[in-house]
Structure 1
């Protein structure tokens, strides 16, 4: 029997009677998404057509107000969506963001004995749909929660673009308290979900002595600790591992052990109360990021004509093919601020070593030092949103503002 995509099927296999949805296959084998959400590949001969099962109508449940201990420190949970606030839609097998901040608190009872919470949800999106306007809205929400007395802020966020949002809030906000971005690689209804441990560790970090923006995620694939990665030095380096996030070019600024919840900060960590609360929420979104590759058509740079800024992710010390330099010079002459970063995981840009680099400097390129390309893009949006003077933009891009650089390039020149 042949099936079409999404046909309901029964599977008699290994002594089990299973129900699922046909995804793909051929005359010999079939891939079926089971009701549990998992996929299996079985001989096509064990599959038979099944009537569509009507979805049960969930009973309406009126949630009781959260019971909170007034003696515990107040934290804010700002939910933006993502896997940590998601479940599987078993009809399609897709993960969708459904839970609110209050749902997260209710679903993880351990949170109630650590702190009390004010929860809000400025928007609910999977993180690939985030944009600079949302970063601004998020920074304002975090600022307002701190101004209202929160001793720390937990931001639940999808992992795909969490590094961009963490960097954006880092630049837009001077914070006296911890701001902890946290997500999950696997939704709450998966047996290997990391959402509960990540949430518990983030709350422990939220009442710690930390005083900066960090990302809190599994430090290893085991359930032993979460790492606290500075918001301007972190990258998602794996698509699905629970320890996908790593600090690039340096170590984390802290570790939260599990299950005891002890927070150990490094000497490099910014401490609580170091800065006064301030918000600088202007951004220039008309900026781009381009990764150079061998043989790249120089005409690709024309796509960024009219942009206020462009970050180039170059090779090695910060290079592109010599046939691209004329296009870069034209962009700079037309008013596009061009910053060079490197595709390398460690080290910094230095365009004074090779002839190509010196030609790039002559074309008006600004060295981005050890900044990650993604962070350089976010910082450039922030810098161009806060100054219109090119010389000030150079100084700000080359000054280590939030740990994004190893040292101040501007002062070293």
Structure 2
């Protein structure tokens, strides 16, 4: 990193003179543009670079994240599961020189750190990316879908995908549409890194492995189900959302109950909802996506020209998070109709967590339908966005786009409100 024309590396020990005071510590990663130091007392300090003088003291050796490897002996009585690593907290450790969390674990590292996994299955690992989930995009979803398809085609009994939690629900939805699978595809993450006493990574990974060898096929998300270390819930990939920034129970099913729960102690799975069974569907890859879609959250007083912005930028689809049953300001109607007439697909979702869109109750909703807006039913806005990207990757015919968006493809639409 460059500070006032000087080049330094994260982890360097430096001294900063600022405002007549001296600060000494380890240089930490910073996205704010400020100089961030971890001092010897354990606290961090942030200093604006303007007016600061930075003096190099010493270079710290890079941390050795690799654990002492175990020998993974294949048990021929157990099935083989693929672990595909994309990064995230479940594949991270804290660098205590800097206090920063870094994605550093490979699938082998995960097995080394959670040896109980080898009691459930044999594993074949592949590192697809080592990123935090906010760096995900449609092209990475496509690469992931192709890798999942390849591993299943090569005989994987199930697939586990380690993923950062912040955008895990987007990836789960994307895979739900892109890969029709006869075996389980389980996404798992953790809210807290492996070297924290309250980490949920081992429990979540073990429960995910139990689901990966079960008869629950298709895409699911397996995460902590209670404040205790007792159960994980199995969520449908198109019906799950992160509802808390840091709690281990952040992931919850929306507009339906979880498919099942996994007892951590016994690894027993108790099914409570409908699900696709192993072998029920044939393997199919449908990985085309059009990333020229956006998600817009309506707020009171929001100008309609936001739609013009996306139209002028060449976007092909828009999901609007409307109020309540799916409304926006009535003054938006001419702009909405102009965009749809120009070839843009607009889908209406709701800002509410539970319930469904119904634009047939109030006059504004009826006017939106007459303008050509597609009701998102009880789809989560995130799921509706990913489905729209996927749909526009399959066809550009407006009638066919509408038909697909209104069809339940991967459990994303419940025609009866359940909760």
TM-score when normalising by structure 1: 0.86
**Which of 350, 354, 357 is the aligned partner of 1:349?**
357
Distance 1:81 1:35, change over 3 A: farther
Q: CA deviation at 1:58?
A: 4.7
Structure 1 partner of 2:33:
none
Matching residue of 1:314: 322
Q: CA deviation at 1:287?
A: 0.6
Work out whether residues 35 and 90 of structure 1, in 8 Å CA contact, stay in contact via their aligned partners in 2: no
Give structure 2 stretches of 5+ with no counterpart: 1-15, 30-35, 46-56
C-alpha separation in 1, matches of 2:65 and 2:247:
35
Q: Does 1:365 align with 2:373?
A: yes
Between the aligned partners of 1:74 and 1:80, the Cα distance in structure 2 is: 19
What's the RMSD between the two structures over aligned residues? 2.8
The offset of 1:266, in angstroms, is 2.3
Q: Partner residue of 1:111? A: 117
The residue number in structure 2 matching 1:401 is 409
The answer on whether the counterparts of 2:90 and 2:162 sit within 8 Å (CA) in structure 1 is: yes
Contact persistence 1:313–1:342 (CA under 8 A): yes
Equivalent in the alignment of 1:325: 333
Q: Which residue of 299, 303, 310 corresponds with 1:297?
A: 303
Q: Distance in 2 between matches of 1:284 and 1:102?
A: 34
- 1:239-260 C-alpha deviation (Å, 9 max, x unpaired): 0000100001111101111121
Q: 1:122 is paired with a residue of what secondary structure? A: strand
* Residue 276 of structure 2 is aligned to residue 270 of structure 1: yes
TM superposition shift of 1:106: 1.2
Match of 2:231 among 225, 228, 231: 225
| Cα distance in 1 between the residues matched to 2:63 and 2:211 | 39
Q: Is the 8 A contact 1:110 1:200 kept in 2?
A: yes
3-state SS of the aligned residue for 1:143? helix
| Alpha-carbon distance, 1:146 to partner | 0.8
**Hey, what's the Cα distance between the residues in 2 that align with 1:296 and 1:56?**
49
Cα contact 1:76–1:153 (8 A) shared by 2: yes
Residue from 194, 197, 217 that aligns with 2:200: 194
Instruction: Tell me which residue corresponds to 2:107.
Output: 101
Alignment partners' CA distance in 1, 2:97 and 2:228: 31
Query: Displacement of 1:35 after TM fit?
Result: 7.3
Q: Which of 213, 236, 241 is the equivalent residue of 2:242?
A: 236
* 1:253 equivalenced with 2:231 (yes/no): no
Bigger Cα displacement from structure 2, 61-70 vs 115-124: 61-70
1:48 corresponds in structure 2 to: none
- Alpha-carbon distance in 1 for matches of 2:212, 2:40: 38
TM value normalised by structure 2: 0.85
> Partners of 1:22 and 1:210 in 2: how far apart?
43
1:7 positional shift: 4.0
Matched, 1:381 2:415: no
| Correspondences of 1:77-88 after superposition (within 5 Å) | 77-88=83-94
The residue number in structure 1 matching 2:11 is none
Q: Is the aligned partner of 1:339 residue 2:347?
A: yes
How is 1:142-161 mapped onto 2 (pairs within 5 angstroms)?
142-161=148-167
Match of 1:80, SS state, is strand
- 1:324 deviates by 1.3
> Which of 102, 108, 126 lines up with 2:132 in the alignment?
126
1:262-306 Cα deviation digits (max 9, x unpaired): 111224122111111111111111111101011101111122102
Residue 350 (structure 1) shift? 1.1
The answer for unaligned runs of 5 or more in structure 1 is: 10-19, 24-30, 42-50
How far is 1:162 from its partner? Answer: 0.4
CA contact (8 A) 1:254 1:269 kept: no
SS at 2:270 equivalent: strand
The verdict on how the C-alpha distance between 1:93 and 1:6 changes in structure 2, with shifts beyond 3 A counting, is farther
| TM-superposed deviation, 1:55 | 4.1
Q: 2:93–2:102: 8 Å Cα contact kept in structure 1? A: yes
**How many correspondences in the alignment?**
384
Stretch moving more, 256-265 or 375-384 = 256-265
8 Å Cα contact 1:8/1:52 also seen in 2: no
Deviation at 1:122, TM superposition (A): 1.5
What is the CA-CA distance between 1:123 and the residue it aligns to? Answer: 1.5
CA distance in 2, matches of 1:185, 1:252: 19
